[in-house]
């Protein structure tokens, strides 16, 4: 549902339609065939079908092993970028320290690289 509102979802759908084996020059017909396939898969996903699939993968009854599966929606890349760029109150000093540490590590790595290149020449 959330993917329908994001550009990356539609870009992925278009690219998959062009790369599909059923592509015959018309992306719209490819969309329709793919949607029909998705509907069939959704209709086949019953609790019993999922239980049978899990029993094939995981031994039943499992006495020592437990598996928890949680499906979380993936946030868009734009939201991830915004969360990295925006700083909350009080978080700025921590983020500044992290950035300063990363910059220091980069300067140290560049200095060691230049030193090693100079040592190889002599």
Domain of 94? Answer: 87-122
2 & 58 share domain: yes
What's residue 11's pLDDT? Answer: 84
Summarize the confidence of residues 103-108 as an average pLDDT.
92
The confidence band for 122, taking pLDDT boundaries of 50, 70 and 90, is low
12 & 66 share domain: yes
7 & 56 share domain: yes
Q: Hey, CA dihedral for 75, 76, 80, 83, is it positive or negative?
A: negative
What's residue 107's pLDDT? Answer: 93
């Amino acid at each position: 549902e959330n993917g329908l509102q994001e550009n990356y979802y539609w870009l992925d759908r278009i690219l998959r339609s062009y790369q599909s084996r059923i592509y015959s020059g018309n992306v719209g017909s490819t969309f329709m065939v793919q949607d029909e396939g998705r509907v069939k898969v959704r209709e086949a996903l019953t609790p019993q079908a999922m239980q049978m699939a899990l029993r094939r993968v995981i031994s039943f009854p499992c006495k020592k092993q437990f598996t928890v599966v949680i499906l979380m929606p993936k946030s868009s890349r734009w939201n991830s970028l915004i969360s990295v760029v925006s700083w909350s109150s009080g978080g700025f000093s921590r983020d500044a320290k992290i950035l300063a540490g990363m910059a220091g590590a980069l300067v140290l790595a560049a200095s060691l690289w230049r030193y090693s290149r100079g040592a190889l020449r002599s």
